[in-house]
Amino acid sequence: MSAASAVVEHDLRTNSGDIAARIFAFARFVRASGLPIGISENVDAARVAEICGVTDSERLRWGLRSLFCKTRDDWERFDELFDRFWSTDQPRTKVAVIEGRGRGIRGAGTDRDAGGTAVNEAADGLAAGSGTAQSGASAREGIAHQDFRHFTQAEELRALAALVERLAMRMRRRAMNRLKISKSGRRLDFRTTIRRSLAYGGVPLKPAFRLHKRRQPKLVLLLDVSGSMNLYSMLFLRFARAVTRAFDRVEVFLFHTSLVRVTEALAERSIDRMKQSMEVISAGWAGGTRIGASIAELNERYAARVLSGQPIVIVVSDGLDTGPPAQLTQELRELRRRARRLVWLNPLLGREGYAPSAKGMSAALPYLDAFLPAHNLASLEALEPYLVSL
Amino acid sequence: MQDFAEIQARFEAAGYITEHGLALAVGLADELRRPLLIEGEAGVGKTAVAKAMADAFGRVLIRLQCYEGLDINSAVYEWNYQRQLMTIKLYENEHHSPQEVQHEIFSEDYLLKRPLLRAICMSEAPVLLIDEIDRADEEFEAYLLEVLSDYQISVPELGTITAISKPCVILTSNATRELSDALRRRCLYYYLPFPSYEKELRIVTIRVPEVSRKLACQVVSFVQSLRTQDLRKKPGIAETLDWTAALLGLRISSLDDDPEKVAQSLMCLLKTRQDQMAADAETVQRLIAQSVAAADASAQ
């Protein structure tokens, strides 16, 4: 740092005539490297230089850092930018222009109503990311409606997983907008106000208010991670993870031959740690799918904590059950009793010629409020009403 | 032009140890009259910056604690309904025109000023602390942006109230929600990390003057290495101070005196069950041994 500082001081002293120009050039350089420098920053930069004095480069560094940085990421990159600009040894090239994430998303968020659905936007992103030659609408159409199992390249899958997460975040934004409207419903409760006023000779000294508040319903997600769901499990896990973060009250379970609660593991910030926790949790599972037994476990062990307050329960499974159908029927009836809504998502439902004829699936049908496909982005987005409505 | 070394010294006099960079940021926020957004993990002393700033500059501190559902009524202003009703009732028997009554009850006397309006109406610029802005709704954030750019608030019945003197605004955020770009761009920014060993040691010795230098070194070194562990909630500075006070209360003069008591007193630092389980006896002993050794080394 000291070497660079010396250079700054030298640079500034020898060019004292046009300090303002040098600072301005630095602002342009920083801007080119992806920090959001606007006009007001440029104006203030000159004042910062004046206030901090240009003879002490560390002070200038700290001053400009507070002015130019707007997020922690910016903060962590600033020192390098500063050193690179003021040092003459290194070529003044841009430092790692931020790629499409971060600011791009936030920017897109502000004009989210400008056109198209989340899926369309998301699909656009994927089309651009994977370098598809097709143009806008048709590519987007293709991706939104393509079955997840047709995405085979690791790269495509990663991009898709990211899209699925973004989709969940978008849903939350909209949910929040709806909640806001209800929050402003602060109305005078006339009846109580008049009643209370009796004590003061008819003067309503203590007005009563009614707070009209809607709460988001609780969500319980049950994900089938058996071998037959192999193609879809990881995607749904990512979706569940994003939903956990985006919504307040979500519980997530995985099942296979038995049931495990993974809400906490999903809340891990880093994906690596999440995977680690998942591996520990799901170690030692044998083949086969016992949906009935798994739901029985939910009903028995988690009923009080998880199933209280009329949650919306979403089961994601292909319905290929190796357990007795009678058990599944019974447990679903029990679950249905506690749930506000019971939704079953079946990735197979989107395939042509599929009929829910598997024993387990047909046994489950009478107890479901909705039986929906979940094999592409469009079908995931169609879930939104179930996540946010009452 | 402010002398930043002096700001730093005054902060120190107010009991807040700070880096040059932060003192400079505070000075700039004051000079440029731009809000200062401070981010950092819980417990690094973000809120305390505003308090220290108010003390150091001899200004009034007005605090607005944000929470989900915070609305204009509790952040900006509200009419004093009770008084208004009372006045209407009293005026009933006298002969006043409805216009007169209306004029009376929507005058400034009947306005309850909440923090934002209060900050704007002060004749001498106060320090306005908007704490945990990330907890407020996006709706409120947008409103705040308007206030922070013009420093004026309009009350429909009264007209627009413009700031007599622009307050120094400090916003803090724990990053539980992404703040809007627009708000960020209005602000100066400072990222406050956990304190370094030297800084935390100075904080402990200043805030808990009774503590011996040896114990202070041990405590700080222990907490510093605890923060590098894989914890859900890392202990902040307040926790360090609490723990130091607790150890003094237990009459412990060195961490290796009474390992059992020390282990029990860790509840001052570890605030979740998972963290308490993660810090098993073996880990704690190892950390104690390390910090005792480190403290001895630094004493020599």
pLDDT, tens digit, for every residue of B27-55? 899 888 899 999 988 888 899 999 999 99
Q: Does ipTM top 0.85?
A: no
Residue B244 has pLDDT above 90, yes or no: yes
Q: Give the pLDDT score at A189.
A: 66
Q: Which residues of A touch B29 (CB under 8 A)?
A: 66
Q: What is the pLDDT of residue B130?
A: 94
Q: What is the CA radius of gyration of chain A?
A: 28
Catalogue all structural domains in chain A, each as residue range(s) with its CATH number. Answer: 2-86 (no CATH), 113-180 (no CATH), 184-211 (no CATH), 219-388 (3.40.50.410)
Q: How far apart are CA A341 and CA A335, in angstroms?
A: 10
Interface list for B 122-181 with A (CB within 8 A)? 137-139, 175, 178, 180-181
Q: Are A124 and A137 in contact (CB under 8 A)?
A: no
By the CB < 8 Å criterion, does B15 face chain A?
no
For residue B50, the model assigns a pLDDT of 92
Inter-residue contact A233 to A202 (CB < 8 Å):
no
> Pick from A2, A10, A24, A1: which is nearest to A55 by CA?
A10
* C-alpha atoms less than 13 angstroms from C-alpha of A231 in its C-beta half-sphere: 15
- Minimal Cβ distance to A36: which of B34, B139, B181: B181
Question: Per-residue pLDDT tens for A105-142?
Answer: 333 333 333 333 444 444 444 444 443 334 444 444 55
**Identity (one letter) of the amino acid at B261?**
K
Here the tokens at position A4 are 């660079």
Among the partner residues B34, B71, B181, nearest to A106 by beta-carbon distance: B181
Query: Which residues in chain A have Cβ-Cβ distances shorter than 8 Å to B73?
Result: 186
Q: Does domain B4-71+120-191 have CATH number 3.40.50.300?
A: yes
Inter-chain residue contact A70 with B34, CB threshold 8 Å: no
Instruction: With CA atoms as reference, report the closest residue to A82 among A45, A39, A43, A40.
Output: A45
Quick one: which H or E segment has residue B275?
helix B273-278
| pLDDT tens profile A4-14 | 555 555 555 55
A72 is written with which tokens?
Answer: 């922690």
Among A10-14, B21-25, B247-251, the least confident range: A10-14
DSSP state of B272: S
pLDDT of B81-120, one tens digit each? 888 888 888 888 787 888 888 888 888 889 999 999 999 9
Q: Which residues of B touch A69 (CB under 8 A)?
A: 189, 191
So what's the pLDDT on residue A72? 84
CB-hemisphere CA count at 13 Å for B68? Answer: 8
C-beta of residue B2 within 8 angstroms of C-beta of residue B27: yes
The angle at the Cα of A362, spanning A357 to A368, to the nearest 5 degrees, equals 135
Give the three-state DSSP class for A219. Answer: strand
Q: In tens digits, what is the pLDDT along chain A, a chain of 390 residues?
A: 444 555 555 555 555 557 788 888 889 888 888 888 888 888 888 888 888 877 778 888 888 999 999 888 888 889 888 888 877 544 444 444 333 333 333 333 333 333 334 444 444 444 444 433 344 444 445 566 677 777 666 667 677 777 777 777 766 665 555 544 444 445 666 667 777 777 777 777 777 766 544 556 688 889 888 777 777 777 788 788 878 877 777 888 888 877 888 887 777 766 677 766 666 666 555 567 788 888 888 888 887 777 877 788 889 888 888 888 888 888 888 888 888 888 888 888 877 777 777 777 888 888 888 888 888 777 777 777 666 554
Closest alpha carbon to B28 in B169, B172, B141: B169
- Out of A378-382, B40-44, B233-237, B284-288, least confident range: A378-382
Give how far Cα B68 sits from Cα of A183, B157, B274, Å. 10, 27, 27
For A301-332, what is the HEC assignment? HCHHHHCCCCCEEEEECCCCCCCCHHHHHHHH
Is the CB of residue B191 less than 8 Å away from at least one CB of chain A?
A: yes
Give the model's pLDDT for residue A187. 62
Q: Cβ of B287 under 8 Å from any chain A Cβ?
A: no
- Asked whether B201 and B162 are in contact (CB, 8 A), the reply is no
Rounded mean pLDDT, B234-243: 92
pLDDT at B57 over 50: yes
Residue A216: per-residue pLDDT: 64
User: Of B167, B53, B159, nearest to B119 (Cα)?
Assistant: B167
Mark yes or no for CB contact A203/B69 under 8 Å.
Answer: no
Q: Which residue has the higher pLDDT, A230 or B76?
A: B76
Confidence at residue A181, expressed as pLDDT on a 0 to 100 scale: 43
pLDDT at position B201: 92
Residue B259: predicted pLDDT: 80
Q: Which residues of B touch A110 (CB under 8 A)?
A: 180-181
